Amino acid sequence: MRWFGFGFNAFGQICVHNELSKDEGRDTVSDVKIMNPTELHRNVDKSVCGRNKCLKTSQIRASWSRRVWLHVDGDSCVCLAGFGGTSVVDSSGCTDTVLSETHLTLAFSDRIESWDLQKKEKTPAWSMEIQPPTDTSGPPLSLPLVPGGYIATKPPFYRSLSPHLKAKSLALGAEHAILLSATGAVYTWGLGSHGQLGHGGLTSEEEPRAVEALWGMPMKHVVTGGWHCACISDGADLYIWGWNESGQLGLPSQSLRKGHKEESSQQAADCQSASINPGGKPLEGEKDKEVFISIQAFPALLDISPSCEIRTVSCGSRHTAAVTATGDLYTWGWGEYGQLGHKNLISTDEPQCVDFFKEQKLYVVDVVCGPWNTFTAVGEEEVKLS
């Protein structure tokens, strides 16, 4: 697969600055804000990992200032890019990774390791041995899930979970968590001040609590951003909830639409003074009656486009990206650093297709949102027909 990145690049986590400077018309601002999807280098420099060949990238994770990618080519190689430069971690046999701003966590067949990125030590800051699961009938656990619990982004790293939950996957937000059970039920806990728990209020929960609004509708995928969550049902429908300050829920955001209303106020005033309402369009006074959503404390069904099935979704700090079954990428929310991929820095509360991939006849198969940027995996369009 080929990987592309766009959005926040102040530390070179998408592409290093001296590479960008080779292109005409580049400046400091465009080095930091990558508005056009840019292909990530597939060749790992020999001086970094000791291999002079192209490796297959199977996974990318991102924090605010770094990107980690897991390469698989017979053996594994985990590389970091961004703050502190490009480096490789002792990772032979690594099968999974999780990245936070302070720690890199690696999963192996027999252990879990967490490396402190703020220190240059040659040993992990924390590790634990794990036993292979006795029940191998289901899919293998992926980080941050581990047998009996999950790995947090700060000490204590290991947190236990009740075996009754039968966790299938888990995602961690700024100060909350969302869990998908083997039965398709969704549980959340942690900080609830922005409605990110989906229980209908703004209170916090110390223990996992089922999202009752989704009860009876099995889900197959859950994700979370800074203060919002999303999940995909077995029927490929997208549900989303939490904070909508930047339109990251795909619901009407007053802060985003205020500027547009101010620009159109003069035109509306002219219509009012002439007592004309062309085409029966609502006047400015009527537009003010539109309902805006700052916090959506219950899961809301979001229609990306008519009859659109969602394959996967990812949440950034204040933006969201979804891949459809037809291989199209849609993004919405905060766009200050170009993380929406629409070749501008405009935020939007309406899901919009990223035209770049359609124009290049590329079929999007996966998306991973960092807090302020976005990474996508693509294949050639022919893949869609195979």
- pLDDT of 289 strictly over 70: no
Q: What is the pLDDT of residue 271?
A: 44
- pLDDT of 38 strictly over 50: yes
Q: What is the pLDDT of residue 92?
A: 86
Written as one letter, the residue type at 221 is H
List the one residue out of 77, 131, 139, 78 whose CA is nearest residue 109.
Answer: 131
Q: What is the pLDDT of residue 281?
A: 46
Q: What span, in angstroms and rounded, lies between the C-alpha atoms of 174 and 172? A: 7
Measured in whole angstroms, the distance separating CA 292 from the mean position of its chain's CA atoms is 24
Q: What is the pLDDT of residue 140?
A: 82
- pLDDT of 283 strictly over 80: no
Q: Average pLDDT, whole number, for the chain? A: 86
What DSSP string runs through 304-320?
SSTTPPEEEEEE-SSEE
Instruction: Average the pLDDT over each of 73-82, 146-155, 274-283, 331-340 and give the range with the smallest value.
Output: 274-283
Q: Quick: pLDDT tens for 179-201.
A: 999 999 999 999 999 999 999 99
Strands 310-315 and 228-233: unpaired
Q: What is the pLDDT of residue 17?
A: 63
- pLDDT of 51 strictly over 60: no
- pLDDT of 46 strictly over 70: no
Helix or strand or coil: residue 258?
A: helix
Q: Whole-prediction pTM value?
A: 0.87
Query: Residue 155's CB: how many other CB atoms inside 10 A?
Result: 10
pLDDT band at 87 (very low <50, low <70, confident <90, very high): confident
Q: What span, in angstroms and rounded, lies between the C-alpha atoms of 286 and 196? A: 31
Task: Assess contact for 80 and 86: CB atoms under 8 A.
Answer: yes
Q: What is the pLDDT of residue 207?
A: 97
Q: What is the pLDDT of residue 258?
A: 75
pLDDT band at 240 (very low <50, low <70, confident <90, very high): very high
- pLDDT of 138 strictly over 60: yes
Q: What is the pLDDT of residue 282?
A: 46
Q: What is the pLDDT of residue 24?
A: 45
